[in-house]
Amino acid sequence: MLVVVLGVLTFNSASSIAEPDSFVAENKSVTVTHTTTVKNLSPPEWPPCCPPVILSQVELASQFKFLPDNLTCTSQPAVYPQHSCLTNLVPNHKVECSYISGNSCEPLHQYTSGTNKSCFSDSAQPISSGTQWFDLYNTQNKTVQLQYFGFKLISGNNMPESEGGGFDLGPHEKCTLALSNSYSQGALEFKPVNTTLEVSYYYDGKPYTTATPSLTDTYNDSGTWQFDGNKWVFAEQNTVTVPEFPFAIPILLTGIMSILVFYRMKSGFRI
């Protein structure tokens, strides 16, 4: 069943609504169409609104690991690999590095976490910290069970991805998924420049996707990219709060406009 409500709203010159490029409001008529579709959804049809679990925070590059000032750096990794360091990255600091691949000493980063709670907490060795990670946030007032969970990183020509498995997330709960592993010893898994993260999963039999814009983090600080319910901002870790209902306002406004249009059509009064 398809229900369509169509009406015209008329604003006079005292209204605060104006054209984007004009500073003076004019008499305008705005046609508002509100469509409600009533039918059963079934996969693979996409849900009409918002993902229940969203990306809320992304760490692309944690702070460097520093060695004591009184330690002498060596360029011989075979002799004292734990004393390998770089002195040209951060002024007056010795950045620990490791010869993980080839002849280049890769700078090492600290292991951090947004929640200290692994998304896959039921696994044998849950990992909630790393040099690169992201947080997920359950926007619902109830526990959600995600299935067929997967994520994809798009960084230059590199596009690593992982899929499979699932987990539960409590009401308004967050969890962290680390992108690095113990084999990297603290080196970055991918370059933190122009990187897009995309997460996909199934919930209640329907597919969802949540993604970031292209992000970059080349600073040696504790800042992370965080979602405030409207846009992504770079701020000190865990300082941006996601609104409890970040997607409710547009839906509420649509409902109010539809009621006003319907009232005008029934009564014949100008709004």
HEC string of 82-140 equals HHCEECCCCCCCEEEEECCCCCCCEECECCECCCCCECCCCCCCCCCCECCEEEEEECC
How large is the greatest C-alpha to C-alpha distance in the chain, in angstroms?
89
Q: In 212-250, at which residue ranges do the beta strands (DSSP E only) sit?
A: 223-227, 232-236
Average confidence score pLDDT of the chain: 75
| Residue 138, Cβ density class (10 Å: 0-12 exposed, 13-18 middle, ≥19 buried) | buried
Looking at the fold, whether 21 and 73 belong to one and the same domain comes out as: no
Q: Compute the residue count for the chain.
A: 271
Distance separating alpha carbons of residues 199 and 229, to the nearest angstrom: 17
pLDDT, residue 245, reads 54
pLDDT, residue 54, reads 97
Host domain of residue 78: 66-98
Q: Which structure tokens are listed for 139? A: 């926007």
Looking at the fold, whether 142 and 168 belong to one and the same domain comes out as: yes
Flag whether 212 is in a domain.
yes
Q: Which is more confident, 15 or 265?
A: 265
Task: Give residue 219's pLDDT band: very low, low, confident or very high (50, 70, 90).
Answer: confident
Distance separating alpha carbons of residues 10 and 26, to the nearest angstrom: 11
Looking at the structure of the chain, the number of domains it has is 3
Reduced to 3 states (helix: H, G, I; strand: E, B; else coil), residue 169 is strand
pLDDT, residue 71, reads 82
Flag whether 103 is in a domain.
no
Looking at the fold, whether 175 and 196 belong to one and the same domain comes out as: yes
Looking at the fold, whether 91 and 157 belong to one and the same domain comes out as: no
pLDDT, residue 125, reads 58
Flag whether 176 is in a domain.
yes
Distance separating alpha carbons of residues 186 and 130, to the nearest angstrom: 8
pLDDT, residue 268, reads 56
Please name the residue that has the structure tokens 């002195």. 87
Flag whether 105 is in a domain.
no
Quick check: 139 and 52 in contact, CB under 8 A?
yes
pLDDT, residue 239, reads 95
Looking at the fold, whether 127 and 204 belong to one and the same domain comes out as: yes
Quick check: 152 and 159 in contact, CB under 8 A?
yes
pLDDT, residue 139, reads 95
Looking at the fold, whether 91 and 149 belong to one and the same domain comes out as: no
Looking at the fold, whether 150 and 121 belong to one and the same domain comes out as: yes
Q: Which of 141, 146, 154, 170 is nearest to 58 (CA)?
A: 154
Q: Which of 175, 169, 121, 115 is nearest to 141 (CA)?
A: 169
Looking at the fold, whether 207 and 236 belong to one and the same domain comes out as: yes
pLDDT, residue 124, reads 56
What would the mean pLDDT of 56-77 be, rounded to a whole number?
86
Inform me whether the pLDDT recorded for 15 exceeds 60: no
User: What is the CATH number for 239?
Assistant: 2.60.40
Distance separating alpha carbons of residues 226 and 167, to the nearest angstrom: 22
Looking at the fold, whether 182 and 57 belong to one and the same domain comes out as: yes
Please name the residue that has the structure tokens 């306002």. 249
pLDDT, residue 50, reads 87
Looking at the fold, whether 176 and 90 belong to one and the same domain comes out as: no
Q: Which of 218, 106, 212 is nearest to 154 (CA)?
A: 212
Task: Give residue 247's pLDDT band: very low, low, confident or very high (50, 70, 90).
Answer: very low
Looking at the fold, whether 185 and 156 belong to one and the same domain comes out as: yes
Phi, psi of 85 (to 5 degrees): -155, 165
pLDDT, residue 242, reads 82
Flag whether 48 is in a domain.
no
Looking at the fold, whether 27 and 89 belong to one and the same domain comes out as: no
pLDDT, residue 191, reads 87
Flag whether 145 is in a domain.
yes
Distance separating alpha carbons of residues 200 and 184, to the nearest angstrom: 26
- Outline where the chain has alpha helix (H): 248-267
Q: Which is more confident, 265 or 5?
A: 265
Query: Considering only 5-14, 88-97, 169-178, which range has the smallest mean pLDDT?
Result: 5-14
Amino acid at 3: V
Inform me whether the pLDDT recorded for 204 exceeds 80: yes
Quick check: 242 and 227 in contact, CB under 8 A?
yes
Task: Give residue 18's pLDDT band: very low, low, confident or very high (50, 70, 90).
Answer: very low
Reduced to 3 states (helix: H, G, I; strand: E, B; else coil), residue 196 is strand
